[in-house]
Amino acid sequence: TWVRAMLKIEKLNFAYGDLKVLWDVDLEVHEGEIVTVVGANGAGKSTTLKNISRLVTPTSGSITFQGRDLGKMQPHHVVEAGLVQVPEGRRIFPEMTVMENLRMGSYVKATRPDRQKNIDWVFELFPRLREREKQLGGTMSGGEQQMLAIARGLMANPKVLLLDEPSLGLSPLLVKNIFDIITGINKQGVTILLVEQNVYQSLRIAHRAYVMETGRVVLTGTGEELLNNDHIKKAFLGM
Ligand code: ATP
C-alpha cells in the first residue's frame, strides 16, 4: 500500500553564509513512526531539524507537513500545525519552576484548553517532575532538565515531536530511561523524529533511520537493517 509521508523533505540545501552544510537532503516521516537521523558531530543533523522548524531558511528544496508547504510558514505556525521541536541542550527556563516551564509549553492558544489534561499526562510520564513541581528548572539535574524539556514540548500537543540529542550528557542508566520514554510517547500516538549521536540506542528504537555524513544522507533503512549494516558497525558501533 502507498503510505503518504506526514513530513516530507525533498532536495533540501542549506548554507550558513558561505558555508554549505546540507546537500540535497531527502527524508520522510510517516504517521506513527519513530525516525532517527544519526551521524557524527557536524554531519548536519541539528541543521536539518532547524530547517524543519523554520528557525532557519533553506537555500532550496521543499519541506511539507501533511501536504502543507512549511516554507511559507512562520515558526509559531509550524508549532500550531503540530510540529514541535525539543531543542538540544535542554533549553528550559532556569529561573522558572517546573510548573511554570510546563505552562510555557502551551503558549499556543489552541492548546490552552488541553493544558490541565496535558499536565496530568506529562506528570504520569515523568513522576519525578510532579515531585519537583515547585523547584526552579535551573537547579535540577541534567537528566531532569532533559525530561522537563521533553515534557514542555508535549504540552504543545505535538503530532510530530522533533528531538535534538535527547541523550546528550546523560548517565548510561538515564540514557536507557530516556529512550524507553520516547518509545512510550510514540506508542501513545506521537510521531517522533529523533536526531542522535547515540547510534546504537536510537537505531534500536527506530522504525526507520537515516545516516548523515558531511551534510548528505548516505544510507537509509529500517533501524534493524542499519544496526546490522557493516558500515554502521565499523563507523559508529566500534565493531
Ligand atoms: P552536532 O551533533 O554537533 O550538533 P550536527 O550533525 O547536528 O552535529 P550541525 O550542528 O547541523 O551538525 O552542523 C553542521 C555544520 O554546520 C557544521 O559544520 C557546523 O560547524 C556548522 N554550523 C552549525 N551551526 C552553525 C552556525 N550557527 N553558524 C555557522 N556554522 C554552523
Helices (H) and strands (E) in the chain, counts: 10, 10
Q: Whose CA is nearest to atom 4 of ligand 1?
A: 46
Atom of ligand 1 nearest to the CA of 49: 11
Per-residue pLDDT tens over the stretch 56-108? 999 999 999 999 999 888 888 899 999 999 977 668 899 999 999 999 998 88
Mean predicted confidence (pLDDT) in 50-60: 94
Query: 9 near 157, Cβ under 8 Å?
Result: no
Q: Quick one: pLDDT at residue 31?
A: 95
Per-residue pLDDT tens over the stretch 185-222? 999 999 999 999 899 999 999 999 999 999 999 999 99
Q: Quick one: pLDDT at residue 1?
A: 42
Helix (H, G, I), strand (E, B) or coil at 3: coil
Ligand 1 binding pocket mutation candidate from 45, 59, 162, 196 (most atoms within 8 A of CB): 45
**From the CA of 55, how far away is ligand 1's center (Å)?**
14
66 phi/psi in degrees, rounded to 5 = 50, 45
Q: Whose CA is nearest to atom 28 of ligand 1?
A: 16
**From the CA of 72, how far away is ligand 1's center (Å)?**
24
Q: Whose CA is nearest to atom 31 of ligand 1?
A: 16
pLDDT band at 4 (very low <50, low <70, confident <90, very high): confident
**From the CA of 199, how far away is ligand 1's center (Å)?**
18
Residue 104 CB burial class (10 angstroms; 0-12, 13-18, ≥19) = middle
Query: 36 near 189, Cβ under 8 Å?
Result: no
Q: Does the Cβ of 42 fall within 6 Å of ligand 1? A: yes
Grid cell at residue 109: 492558544
Global model pTM greater than 0.80 = yes
Q: How far apart are CA 64 and CA 43, in angstroms?
A: 22
Q: What does the DSSP 8-state code read for residue 4?
A: P
Transcribe 107-140 into DSSP letters: -SGGGGGGHHHHHHHHHHH-HHHHHTTTSBGGGS
